[in-house]
Amino acid sequence: MGSASFPRAARLLRPGDFAALRRASRRVGADHFHAEAAPRTSGPRLGMAVSKRVSKRAVERNRIKRQIRESYRHVRLQLPALDILVVARTSAATHDNAALRADLIRLWDKLRRLAAAAPDGARVEAPPRERHNGQVPAAFGRTTTPPSPSSD
């Protein structure tokens, strides 16, 4: 099963990895899933989030996670070097496996296009998230006021 495996190195495992991904990610969506992706230096890694909001039944949540893992196994070697967090939407629980797999294929294609659109070596950065008052929070590494022009 060599090329279609899901080794430990291809998974997001630590909470710090998930937190770093959430801070510096770009979001793409499909019908039943959305993904957050951030560039990395070597090979893609996958993390999954299927909450109880998607389905109260663990059987349903596990079925959705199995579909994500299986789809990822088959496309892992064609994906660019990204950390990817796939989040299931509530609609995922009401659709069959074939519909979920088709939707995941569209999601992987969008991720490939996203990475291809960035020039070589450039980071794929998400647009700044804004608060209701239009100011960017300081947690995103940007100041909320523009820098003053320097006089030369």
Residue 100 belongs to domain spanning: 29-115
- Tens of pLDDT, residue by residue over 60-107, are 999 999 999 999 999 988 888 889 999 999 999 999 999 999 999 999
- Cβ atoms of 89 and 107 within 8 Å: the answer is no
Number of domains in the chain: 1
- Tens of pLDDT, residue by residue over 21-54, are 888 878 888 899 999 988 888 888 999 999 999 9
Dihedral sign for Cα 16, 22, 23, 26, please.
Answer: positive
Neighbours of 21 (CB within 10 A): 20
In a domain, 62, yes or no: yes
Say how far apart CA 12 and CA 6 lie, in whole Å: 11
User: 104: domain CATH number?
Assistant: 3.30.230.10
